[in-house]
Amino acid sequence: MFTHYSLKKLFGALGMLLLATLPMLAFGDEAAAPAPTPDKGDTSWMLVSTALVLMMSVPALALFYGGMVRSKNALSVLMQVFVVFSLITVLWCVYGYSLAFTEGGAWFGGFDRLFLKGTFDAATGAFSMGATFSKATPITELVFVAFQATFAAITGALILGAFVERVKFSAVLIFMVLWFTFAYIPIAHMVWFWMGPDAYTAANVVDAMNAKAGMLWQWGALDFAGGTVVHINAGVAGLVGAYLVGKRIGFGKEHMAPHNLTLTMIGASLLWVGWFGFNAGSALEANNSAALAFMNTFLATACAVLSWTFGEWIFKSKPSMLGAASGAVAGLVAITPAAGNVGIPGAFVIGTAAGLVCLWGVNQLKRWLKADDSLDVFGVHAVGGILGALLTGVFNSPDLGGPGFYNNWFEMKQGFGGIGAQVLIQAKAVGVTIVWSAVVAAVAYKIADWTVGLRVTPDEEREGLDTASHGESAYRL
Amino acid sequence: MKLVTAIIKPFKLDDVRDALAEVGVQGVTVTEVKGFGRQKGHTELYRGAEYVVDFLPKVKIEVAIDAKQLDRVIEAITKAARTDKIGDGKIFVYDLEQVVRIRTGETGKDAL
């Protein structure tokens, strides 16, 4: 009796097992084939791109910003960029990556990858795989984690330019933890999280898989490398910071000219180089899309250098080095959402427009806003980001030389819904980013203000943050 | 003895030094200074911010000489430092009471 029962149970279990394997067998060859392994070319390119984006923050952004402040605050800016970059990198590996890039809701991801758990199985030596934009073309998930870590970290560092020379170091750290958690992570999830091309296994799962993606991705917003996630996000947080931290003592009266534009030029140039990793790396593969993004990044930046320079020459007074360097950054920012999403005509127009519009952003618009956004984080990054995001909707059109986009990831068919419709989607994504970032930033600054205070004392500000906050000075001449 | 102090354009320093050597001046003291005269300052533009630079960089040279050399020294400096444009600078002449060479203790004209 006992044996009979056991056998029955055993057969029952075997039957269940057979049933469970049936769907797999139904896929036939595909299921039997070994899982695809990462392409070594893709892996190499993504590792190099990751290092390039690291270089964009330290030293490039640090030097770009550091040269523009007065010599008594030079080290404080380098220090803020260095430490904020490191802080966010650590937070990224603790919870940031998991909340941004795992399946969850429309706004936040889940907790599956806390402390990057599950990316590497020590027992079997197996690494988990991440998706790219091609079917059966994975990359090692840790490569994607590292690449995206540099994006999160540079975004925080970008904000610093709005309130340098008077902000308290401890307040910066508190603000960054809060803003990164409640603004960067959700915007990154909303714009960039999706299930990956391999999840679209059949025509009838397309809607279900789309529904698991981030909210702005579902709307169809195009953001190749971070126009919304990085630049508008940071630019808006910077402007709110400039208002809440307040103007520098003597702003508009005292001499606050950049102390070393040589450093600024080196920084801008290294940003240009590093941005190839940022934009072309966002293709996630070493392929045609990366090549397109690379060329667009190259060309748009050169256009923006020229348009800012000539704009300044014609409308202001002389063509300045700071203007050329600012034009480069404006062009890089504006081409970021467009990089692999537009063709060469788009790069010409977006780059040229960025130089002129951001020149307006740091002059007329800045005077209207009446904020001491010291290094023009809003005027360059938010303005350039918005311009780029909207024009991406225009020049993505195949009629204007753009590649269009996949509107069905099962059939991998290129499509384009019309310029007006796409620009409207882009505008909605920009609007969500502006409101979300501004609200989170305002609350985060207030919390930093209530806990440690946002500003150093007036005496410390006059003395300079290098000695007052960090006990060292940049130059002994 | 006279002390001649001249404020000149920085890029004229080498010409002035050579001219002074030619008229027999034994030593010159040079200081980098800032100031303004009728030339006034200039404005600098950094993105949207305009700053007036009130004090321009100049070089101050000081020469201690025998009173007999004065005319030749003034002529040498004037000729060498002149560009005929505003901002060429000025020469000030003072009476000099005493000079001491520290190494030997010599005083007066012997110490020049």
pLDDT in tens, B22-80: 999 989 999 999 998 887 778 888 988 888 888 889 999 999 999 999 999 999 999 99
ipTM rounded to 2 decimals: 0.74
CB contact under 8 A, B48 and A317: no
Test the A interface: residue of B32, B46, B47, B50 with most A CBs within 10 Å: B47
The β-bridge relationship of strands A413-415 and B2-8 is unpaired
Partner-chain contact B45 A317, CB within 8 Å: yes
At B50, give phi and psi (nearest 5°). Answer: -110, 130
pLDDT computed for residue A33 by the predictor: 65
Segment A349-396, tens digit of pLDDT: 999 999 999 999 999 999 999 999 999 999 999 999 999 999 999 999
Which residues does residue B53 pair with via DSSP β-bridges, in sequence order?
A: B42
- Identify the pLDDT of residue A232: 97
* Cα of B32 to nearest chain A Cα, Å: 14
Looking at residue A14, its pLDDT comes to 43
Residues of chain A with Cβ-Cβ distance to B45 below 8 Å are: 316-318, 320
Distance CA A13, CA A138 (A): 35
Q: Look up residue A416 and give its two tokens.
A: 């384009």
Q: Which pLDDT value is given to residue A34? A: 76
Backbone angles phi, psi at B59, to 5 degrees: -115, 135
In angstroms, rounded to a whole number, what is the distance separating the alpha carbons of residues B78 and B70?
A: 12
Q: Are A402 and A224 in contact (CB under 8 A)?
A: no
- A 237-266: CB under 8 A from B: 255-258
From CA A20, how far away is CA A24, in angstroms rounded? 8
State the Cα torsion A86-A91-A92-A98 to the nearest 10°: 170
Segment A131-179, tens digit of pLDDT: 999 999 999 999 999 999 999 999 999 999 999 999 999 999 999 999 9
- Looking at residue A32, its pLDDT comes to 54
Nearest to A109 by CA among A100, A117, A97: A100
Beta-carbon separation of A316 and B46 below 8 A: no
Residue A192's alpha-carbon distances to A21, A157, A342, A474, in angstroms, are 34, 20, 18, 40
The tokens describing A263, both together, are 């450093």
Chain B contact set for A376 (CB, 8 A):
47-48
Gap between the Cα atoms of A331 and A296, Å rounded: 10
B16/chain A closest Cα distance in angstroms: 27
d(CA B77, CA B81): 6
Position A174 scores a pLDDT of 98
Question: Within an 8 Å CB–CB cutoff, is residue B94 touching chain A?
Answer: no
Residues of chain A with pLDDT under 70: 1-33, 477
The pLDDT of residue B51 is 87
Number of other residues whose CB lies within 10 A of the CB of residue A423:
18
Q: Give the rounded distance of the alpha carbon of A393 from its chain centre.
A: 18
Residue A29: its pLDDT value, please? Answer: 46
pLDDT attached to residue A408: 82
Q: Dihedral sign, CA of A455, A456, A458, A463?
A: negative
User: Which pTM value belongs to this model?
Assistant: 0.86
Q: What pLDDT is attached to residue A354?
A: 98
Residues in chain A closer than 8 A to B48 (CB atoms): 362-363, 366-367, 376, 379
**pLDDT given for residue A6 in this prediction:** 44
Does A369 contact chain B (CB < 8 Å)? no
